[in-house]
Amino acid sequence: MVILFDRFNMPEDIYELIFATKQQVIVAKVIISTIKEHGGELNKTEMSFFATQLHDGKLEAEIDEPGFAGKKVKLSYNKRQFYDRILTPMKSMGLIYYDLYKKTYAISDKFTRDINKIGIMWQRETAKPLGATIKR
């Protein structure tokens, strides 16, 4: 997944920086809060149940969107799109870790480490002497 951002118009919410649509932002926030509610981990069955409830429009959640704050609303999102556009990108970016042996999903700090690594890579690139990258 590619994250493009304008550093002069950076959103306050990390989810808005990562995801393209408001609906994706809401669903991503709900899955993270669900993982937190379950002690920081969801097993494969619980994740599938979450995705099915979401797909069927039966998932109720409190969201912090204007006009809905403090109210429980039913959310609906296609199950396949949930896996393709939300969960898989969150795993590939290091926001969520899937343990193949325990078959559990957990919140991860790999995203933070990778973003820091990218910053260090850029510092090294800018410190290279003239002509070290490309010669014209």
* Inside any domain, residue 3: no
> pLDDT tens digits, residue range 58-109?
999 988 878 778 888 999 999 999 999 999 999 999 999 999 999 999 999 9
Q: How confident is the model at residue 136 (pLDDT cuts 50, 70, 90)?
A: low
* Inside any domain, residue 117: no
Query: Which residues touch 51 (CB under 8 Å, ≥6 apart)?
Result: 79, 82, 83, 87
As a whole number, mean pLDDT of residues 113-127 equals 95
Predicted local distance difference test score (pLDDT) of residue 5: 85
In sequence order, the β-bridge partners of residue 62 are 72
> pLDDT tens digits, residue range 3-50?
888 889 999 999 999 999 999 999 999 999 999 999 999 999 999 999
Predicted local distance difference test score (pLDDT) of residue 57: 96
* Inside any domain, residue 7: no
As a whole number, mean pLDDT of residues 105-116 equals 96
- In this structure, the strands spanning 41-43 and 59-62 are unpaired
Alpha helices, DSSP H, located in the chain: 14-18, 22-37, 44-56, 79-81, 88-93, 110-127
* Inside any domain, residue 128: no
* Inside any domain, residue 92: yes
Q: Which residues of 18-45 are buried (b: 16+ CB within 10 A; e: fewer)?
A: bbeeeebbbbbbbbeebbeebeeebeee
- pLDDT exceeds 80 at position 53: yes
* Inside any domain, residue 136: no
CATH of residue 92's domain is 1.10.10.10
- pLDDT exceeds 80 at position 133: no
CA distance linking residue 106 with residue 124, whole number of Å: 32
Per the structure, the complete domain to which residue 81 belongs is given by 14-109
In the numeric block, which tokens belong to residue 136? 């014209």
* Inside any domain, residue 59: yes
| Count of structural domains within the chain | 1
* Inside any domain, residue 122: no
Asked whether 44 and 103 are in contact (CB, 8 A), the reply is yes
Q: How confident is the model at residue 2 (pLDDT cuts 50, 70, 90)?
A: confident
